[in-house]
Structure 1
Amino acid sequence: MAAGVRVRRPTSPTPSLPHTAPHSQRFPNPRHDHLDADERRAAASRGYGPGRKMHAYGGINMTSAEWKLLGVVVIIAMSVRLFRLSRPNSIVFDEVHFGKFASKYIKSSYFVDVHPPLAKLLITLAGFIFGYDGNFDFKDIAKVYEGNVPYVAMRLLPALLGVATVPLAYITLRALDCRATTALLASLFITFENGLITQSRHILLDSPLIFFTALTTFLWIGFCNEDKQEPFTDSWWTWLALTGLSLGATVSCKWVGLFTIATIGLGTLKQLWILLGDMRISARLWTRHFVARAICLILIPITFYMFMFWIHFLILSNAGDGDGFMSSEFQHTLNGRGMSDTYLDVAYGSVLEIRHVNTQGGYLHSHPHNYPTGSQQQQITLYPHRDSNNEWRIVNATATPDPYTAWSYQSFQHVHTGDRIKLRHIATEHSLHSHDYRPPVSDVDFQQEVSAYGMADFVGDANDDWIVEIHKGDKHDTESWKRLKTLKTQFRLRHVMSGCYLFSHKVKLPDWGFDQQEVTCNKNAVLDNSLWYIETNTHPNMPADAPKANYKRPGFIAKFLELQQVMWTTNAGLTERHAFDSRPDAWPRLRRGINFWVKDNRQIYLLGNPLVWWLSTAAVTFYAAIRGLLIIRAKRGYKDFENTKVVKYDTLCGFLFVGWSLHYFPFYLMGRQLFLHHYFPALYFAILLCCGVFDLVTSALRPRVRLQIAALLVILAIWNYAYLSPLAYGLPWTKQKCKNAQWLKTWDFSCNDFLDNVSSDIA
């Protein structure tokens, strides 16, 4: 251990283990004059008293030499992560998404993403500061950055957050009462972890996520150390409030931050449970502890999270390609999507825009393009944007002699439930039609193709006829349950000849259908997917004073809750397979990586440092096995948990094990598309746990021997890093070296993309 570093007694930040150090082992603090009588009695019972020495702030007690050493490590981490940051000068992996989102932020163009906004806002801020105008399209992987795209600055932000994670790992282990050698080992393991390096060098969200996860962990441990000294001091409140802010930032980067909240939440519940069982703690004092944690660890994170979305909505004020995911009420709040007041009453002859209730509410749409198969008649689709091709005239199918003109000279008639109608497409003068052809994509016998058929002055046939069935109206307007009213009535359209219902779902048509949503006539239609409503309604004979309708403008809370639902639904819908996806059981074994970029006989492939990865997995397994053995021994009457050393390392490693478990095992419950990078927050805890196990295993050795073992592990980690570095940086490599590096058959980076021979110069 470094000279001058005082060894402190065991800390207890673990959120899950049932055993904790007794109160008599906690550090005292003389600062209790401000406490009331209950608090003084509680402080005295927990070992607080005058004349007793307090530990270092937040549990960190490092010499100046140790801080200087940490500074050297940070410089090394910067050189590793910022090396050739401008290369490649083309789009890498998911930069196509997150760079594109930065463009939309700068142009205030509304979009929808499955991730919360904080990390994207930080990346956008970096681009904006360096003059990005939002005009680059980020269309394809390997597309060269052209024009005014400060991609290096945008990559720099996650890279610097990746660097900042290194000292956080060091001071976290020091706050956990690990030796300086152990903390140094952890910081160097993270410095030379290839996967973390690769992920932090590009415009991606995982590096900010890992940074805030690490920051939250450190702040929580610091709070726990302060809590053992004296509650409700200024420093106690500071650590607790900062923990809450960091929790909010973590979950505002990605929803994986919910697992960090669970980790801290379990720790909080354990603390409160222990206090509840301490008869020396009054009910009033316990309530103060509960309220303080509720404010700082629940209210502050929620407020921060919502504030990020307030900024998100404030910036994205214009219509964009994400409009179709949102409700009509939400879209109405965007510039360019506001709708003028429209007639409330629907009558024969009205020109309507009809929207689907479910599947993000696209419009019933047609255009002058035909199906390539089936009837080869004009296509009917669901389209998410306003367009003149969304307009239909509703007429009475029973009117004679010509239902398409009868409305113009007959008396004004409302459309009631049970009426038999036709819908004529305004732009092409074709009628909404169905017949006994299977749809082009949903090729099943209980669905029929829906097409647009006919021409001007053609009356059509019974296959154009539909029955209106009102499903629901407005509770404040009883008439809307009986007859069609704009915005207020939800209805179904039943085909007269076949009995099927006009239906749409999330199935997309191929390129010939412009990737628009399929519309069919379904005999077994799910109710939600066969409901429609009228958004706009015009009629040339409508009285000028006729009642009008419009959407109610939702407030922030309503918009926030709706977006959370859309994000959840969209995230759960990402079930398509990807060439480089993987399942959670493969992650701890580092079975495969992700191909990020291939161009010019070079490749970037996300793959971890094998030594760091497998050692951390071994440490997780080792702790679980030893903990199980200790539990069995306790059942047999052994007093292992009365040993101070056992308590210390069980507490330390147990906390990190719980953090690893809560960031790893929930992925087994997810059916969505998953990748190796989803394991990175769990990997951070596993690396710290690995070093905690190292601290235990080497605790009986002399400092020099311990340092030599740590040096050997670091040298091996650096060798692994250097050996696989061409994949992290996209450096020149030969086919033979590539094949030699494929230690596992499942490491599927493409060696054939490299040259047989390359010069020693790095281009």
Structure 2
Amino acid sequence: MACSDNVAQRLESRKQQAVLSNTTTNSVRQRKKQRGTTPVPHSEDEVLTKPITTNKKTASPAKKGFQIGHAIGLTVVTALAFITRFYKINHPNEVVFDEVHFGKYLQRTYFFDVHPPFGKLLFALMGWFVGFDGDFKFDNIGDSYIDHKVPYVAFRTMPALLGSLTVSVVYMTMWESGYSIPAALLAAGLVLFDNAHVGQTRLILLDATLIFSMACSIFAYVRFYKMRHAPFSRKWWKWLLLTGVALSCVISTKYVGVFTFVTIGTAVAIDLWYLLDIQTGLTLQEFGYHFGARAFGLIVVPFCFYLFWFQVHFAILYRSGTGDDFMSPAFQETLADNLMTLSSTNINYYDTITIRHKDTKVYLHSHTARYPLRYEDGRISSQGQQVTGYPHNDTNNNWIILPSSNLPEVKTGLPVLNGDAVRLQHVVTNTMLLSHDVASPYFPTNQEFTTVDQETAAQRLNDTLFEIRIEGLRQGAEFKTMAGQFKLIHFPSKVAMWTHTKPLPEWGFKQQEINGNKNVQQTSNLWYVDDIVGLAENDARNERAPKVVKTLPFLVKWFELQRAMFHHNNALTSSHPYASHPIQWPYLLRGVSFWTKNDTREQIYFLGNPIGWWLASSLLAVFAGIIGADQVTRRRGVDALDHRTRSKLYNSTGYFFIAWMTHYVAFFVMGRQLFLHHYLPAHLASALVTGALLDFVFNTDNIDETVPEHVRALQSGKRSARRTLTGVMPSSPSAPNVATPLSWIVGGVILAAVIGGFFFYAPLTYGTPGLSVEQVLQRKWLGYDLHFAK
């Protein structure tokens, strides 16, 4: 007892000395502050939260063993990652599922895709390295790579390499966060031996780039935060900028990369909130430097790189291609060999023209048949002459463009201008296009389009007037064939002429309905003049002078492409037989069929490792329960956790949990098609949480013997909760977790089960060997829709 009292007295004495020293430091701080530096700790809490630095030369044998053990673990998991990703990478030698269409980069022809260009540019770079000419279009699943002499193994090497390195980054994230070797092995092993990660990252797909960049972002921010007590140093700037570069790669691969921005942004916001505390000793000016540096490194730098990849995209794709139709006429005229550049012609009044819908390509058409008196739902029509959309070119598609009669006499040869009010005369039936307040056949809210004879048209002049509204051009610009995509706006009612793909019944000859759409802003209202019919031989417009390819400012093209990408991404709402809902992902309720071969009964079925996914998903709920229980018990005065354990649980494991939430929850509000592969980034985060919880349950924190005794005494005492939530980041690596024998046993058992699940489903991941009916049925654990099950 006397010995214990003496120890307590010495600890109390050293604690008082530390407080006295901090008081002296405070007075020095007031006299001598340096811009951009974090002040010396001035409270017990700050003593505890500041990492204890040690001289590497005097590091303990235990710590050296910790580093060596982790180095060996990293080497092992990296080697196994390369083996699992590159095993039989040449099989199958056919197009599998959604292997990307990157060949167009090598042909320099413009194409459109809903994803940013970075990931596709990496594949194009690999194709350029191996001399691929881009002729093969990857059009159909099952097309032979061998027959078309495609160096597909080289292309698959790119995602396989990134997928292998992702496992290494997961391990290093756990290492740098101060977790034990079993915890790091478990987290990396859940990704290493996951069938979904292996299957998705050994095919020519974009997800390997996305997931690797996401993992690098999380790791780089860990390294940056560990430099928080040396702000604005060279290493501090290095890891801040590397975090920004990694973030730019994520968002430049797929737009779902914005979830990684939210993850890092949340951690930064919490960190800045801590720095704003007056007890940190920062002035508002110094806080502004911290805020500005983070804004520059994590917003400005990623955005600049994001713009750079689009600049490369535009520079490479300078020729007309399949993506032209997605862009405006002004954009298309910047592409070489584009029809708008080669054949666009000014349209004059009294020209006979054909008009086509931009999206469905049908012609504006009319014929002598009339709308029925009553439609199927009992509504009454006008019984006027039908106006429809017709896919083939014939004389019933010809219309004469006339001026409105309320303007002065317009002579032949006067050009039609943007904003003019015009009338359209159907050539074959000599009738005038008209719209009025009568419901269309399929849309009771939309107006009917019909034609009327000349006498009726003269009496109902206003109903025959339509405004030419050309997209992207100023009022008064010349109206041209091909180049002038326009909306035909009914003058009195302000509805836009529109069509859709659902065919009319037999009375409409299965042609498309034309009606007046009240949503004028809808992009599907666009039409263009396909041709001028019967242009006189002596017309000056027959002389086609060579046309120069136009230019547009980079930002104008970039903004237009962004709008088109977002629009078409959101429009991916059609059903798909293998689409799934986010609620199904964590517990792996269904997968996706990638490829089948009937002769050998081989198939690639995209599915995760059920054992690993079920474990990780369950532990996410356990983590939430632990946090809830800790909060409730502390409200009742029960403090079951020491300060360092609680800090690591909230800050480090909480960081990984935030990464899981931000990469998962947002999918519930999306209306587009969703598939299981959208969960892979969130699964990676759940693997980190799983490894962290292994340490929380089975391991203990090691207090390095080089830590000053007074700090060690303070660390062992009861702590307030005030700094538990400051900074989302692992604890100091100077106090790594010590692995207990039980953690090795539990981690080993879990990994053994995960490895068993991986090999059990490996035939569906690698597509070989073929399985018998009995073997397929054995793998239908949750009723997966596997092929060859009978």
Q: Is the shorter-chain TM-score for this pair beyond 0.5, marking a shared fold? A: yes
Matching residue of 1:734: 772
Measured at CA, do residues 368 and 282 of structure 1 come closer, stay the same or move farther in structure 2, by a change above 3 Å?
same
Measured at CA, do residues 106 and 396 of structure 1 come closer, stay the same or move farther in structure 2, by a change above 3 Å?
same
Cα deviation, residue 420, structure 1: 3.9
Note if contact 2:38-2:230 (Cα within 8 Å) is conserved in structure 1. Answer: no
Matching residue of 2:521: 528
Matching residue of 1:635: 635
Provide TM-score, normalisation by structure 2.
0.75
Q: Residue by residue, what CA displacement relative to the aligned partner does 1:97-132 show, whole Å, maximum 9, x if unpaired?
A: x1x2x1111111111111111111111211221121
Note if contact 2:356-2:363 (Cα within 8 Å) is conserved in structure 1. Answer: no
Matching residue of 2:590: 592
Note if contact 2:470-2:486 (Cα within 8 Å) is conserved in structure 1. Answer: yes
Amino acid corresponding to residue 389 of structure 2 in structure 1: I
Measured at CA, do residues 505 and 213 of structure 1 come closer, stay the same or move farther in structure 2, by a change above 3 Å?
farther
Partners of 1:749 and 1:206 in 2: CA distance: 23
Measured at CA, do residues 492 and 240 of structure 1 come closer, stay the same or move farther in structure 2, by a change above 3 Å?
same
Measured at CA, do residues 153 and 392 of structure 1 come closer, stay the same or move farther in structure 2, by a change above 3 Å?
farther
2:464 aligned residue (455, 458, 467): 467
Note if contact 1:494-1:501 (Cα within 8 Å) is conserved in structure 2. Answer: yes
SS in 2 for 1:380: strand
SS in 2 for 1:394: strand
SS in 2 for 1:256: helix
Amino acid corresponding to residue 90 of structure 1 in structure 2: E
CA RMSD of aligned residues (A): 4.8
Partners of 1:124 and 1:203 in 2: CA distance: 11
Partners of 1:292 and 1:154 in 2: CA distance: 38
Partners of 1:52 and 1:727 in 2: CA distance: 50
Partners of 2:292 and 2:397 in 1: CA distance: 54
Amino acid corresponding to residue 318 of structure 1 in structure 2: R
Structure 1 stretches of 5 or more lacking a match? 1-23, 26-31, 400-405, 754-763
Note if contact 1:133-1:148 (Cα within 8 Å) is conserved in structure 2. Answer: no
Note if contact 1:85-1:152 (Cα within 8 Å) is conserved in structure 2. Answer: yes
Note if contact 2:336-2:549 (Cα within 8 Å) is conserved in structure 1. Answer: no
1:503 aligned residue (492, 497, 521): 497
Measured at CA, do residues 704 and 255 of structure 1 come closer, stay the same or move farther in structure 2, by a change above 3 Å?
same
Measured at CA, do residues 730 and 472 of structure 1 come closer, stay the same or move farther in structure 2, by a change above 3 Å?
closer
Matching residue of 1:421: 424
Partners of 2:416 and 2:557 in 1: CA distance: 34
Partners of 1:382 and 1:739 in 2: CA distance: 47
Cα deviation, residue 327, structure 1: 1.2
Question: Does the alignment pair 1:78 with 2:82?
Answer: yes
SS in 1 for 2:227: helix
Partners of 2:116 and 2:394 in 1: CA distance: 30
Matching residue of 2:187: 186
Note if contact 1:367-1:380 (Cα within 8 Å) is conserved in structure 2. Answer: yes
Amino acid corresponding to residue 557 of structure 2 in structure 1: K
SS in 2 for 1:582: coil
Cα deviation, residue 272, structure 1: 1.0
Measured at CA, do residues 194 and 477 of structure 1 come closer, stay the same or move farther in structure 2, by a change above 3 Å?
closer
- What are the residue-to-residue correspondences of 1:433-448 with 2, within 5 Å? 443-444=442-443
Partners of 1:90 and 1:224 in 2: CA distance: 45
Measured at CA, do residues 748 and 476 of structure 1 come closer, stay the same or move farther in structure 2, by a change above 3 Å?
closer
Matching residue of 1:708: 745
Q: Residue by residue, what CA displacement relative to the aligned partner does 1:463-497 show, whole Å, maximum 9, x if unpaired?
A: 999723337699998768xx98999996635499x
Cα deviation, residue 170, structure 1: 0.7
Partners of 2:234 and 2:531 in 1: CA distance: 62
Cα deviation, residue 138, structure 1: 1.2
Matching residue of 1:579: 577
- What are the residue-to-residue correspondences of 1:127-526 with 2, within 5 Å? 127-145=127-145, 146-227=147-228, 229-279=229-279, 280-337=281-338, 339=341, 347-350=348-351, 365=363, 380=389, 393-395=400-402, 420-422=423-425, 424=427, 443-444=442-443, 467-470=464-467, 492=488, 494=490, 503-505=497-499, 507=501, 520-523=513-516, 525-526=518-519
Measured at CA, do residues 297 and 677 of structure 1 come closer, stay the same or move farther in structure 2, by a change above 3 Å?
same
Amino acid corresponding to residue 569 of structure 1 in structure 2: H
Structure index of larger Rg: 2
Note if contact 2:415-2:479 (Cα within 8 Å) is conserved in structure 1. Answer: no
**Structure 1 stretch displaced more, 239-248 or 321-330:** 321-330
Partners of 1:172 and 1:269 in 2: CA distance: 21
Cα deviation, residue 653, structure 1: 1.2
Note if contact 1:185-1:710 (Cα within 8 Å) is conserved in structure 2. Answer: yes
SS in 2 for 1:752: coil
Partners of 1:370 and 1:140 in 2: CA distance: 42
Note if contact 1:641-1:647 (Cα within 8 Å) is conserved in structure 2. Answer: no
Partners of 2:562 and 2:762 in 1: CA distance: 39
Amino acid corresponding to residue 765 of structure 2 in structure 1: A
Measured at CA, do residues 485 and 678 of structure 1 come closer, stay the same or move farther in structure 2, by a change above 3 Å?
closer
Partners of 1:494 and 1:680 in 2: CA distance: 49
Provide TM-score, normalisation by structure 1.
0.77
Matching residue of 1:757: none
Question: Does the alignment pair 1:94 with 2:98?
Answer: yes
Note if contact 2:773-2:788 (Cα within 8 Å) is conserved in structure 1. Answer: yes
Amino acid corresponding to residue 742 of structure 1 in structure 2: K
Amino acid corresponding to residue 89 of structure 2 in structure 1: L
Amino acid corresponding to residue 341 of structure 2 in structure 1: M
Partners of 2:91 and 2:367 in 1: CA distance: 45
Measured at CA, do residues 398 and 244 of structure 1 come closer, stay the same or move farther in structure 2, by a change above 3 Å?
closer
Amino acid corresponding to residue 579 of structure 2 in structure 1: D
Note if contact 2:194-2:608 (Cα within 8 Å) is conserved in structure 1. Answer: yes
